[in-house]
Amino acid sequence: MAIVDTSRRLPTRSTLQDIEAYEGFATVQNYTTRRPEATAEVLQANLAIMQAKQQKETELAALAKAAADEARQAEWEFHNSVMAMKESVRGLYGPDSHEAQSVGYKKKSERKRPRRRVA
């Protein structure tokens, strides 16, 4: 018998087929089994648990997407405010100041001058 890897998700197609089989099971009369996991009550309970867990997963995925969007927006707002602060510092103190260097700019006097190439 093949080894079943339960760490992977079951394909959606299989889940839909299982639900269809369960719904068709309602038409079966006088069903009795010796397997405790195959009783009608256990099947119904497992379906309800599966649907509740899937709903919870969907809700958490929506919350995760919303949190990611909020974090992305906050990152851009912070980045834009830092860029505005850097431009303001450069405008107030000049491009060759220690203050401009302290916020991440290179001093104008420390930049290399372009050299002419002699052919």
Write out the chain in H/E/C secondary structure.
CCCCCCCCCCCHHHHHHHHHHHHHHCCCCCCCCCCHHHCHHHHHHHHHHHHHHHHHHHHHHHHHHHHHHHHHHHHHHHHHHHHHHHHHHHHHHCCCCHHHHHCCCCCHHHCCCCCCCCC
Could you tell me if residue 51 is inside a domain?
yes
Could you tell me if residue 117 is inside a domain?
no
118 band by pLDDT with thresholds 50, 70 and 90: confident
Could you tell me if residue 24 is inside a domain?
yes
- Summarize pLDDT for 52-76 with one digit per residue, the tens: 999 999 999 999 999 999 999 999 9
Could you tell me if residue 9 is inside a domain?
no
Give the pTM: 0.66
Could you tell me if residue 82 is inside a domain?
yes
- Summarize pLDDT for 1-29 with one digit per residue, the tens: 678 888 899 999 999 999 999 999 988 88
The Cα–Cα gap between 103 and 83 comes to 10
Could you tell me if residue 93 is inside a domain?
yes
Could you tell me if residue 119 is inside a domain?
no
Could you tell me if residue 4 is inside a domain?
no
> Domain tally for the chain?
1
Average pLDDT over residues 75-96: 94
Residue 58, domain extent: 15-28+36-110
pLDDT at 1: 64
- Summarize pLDDT for 95-108 with one digit per residue, the tens: 899 999 999 888 88
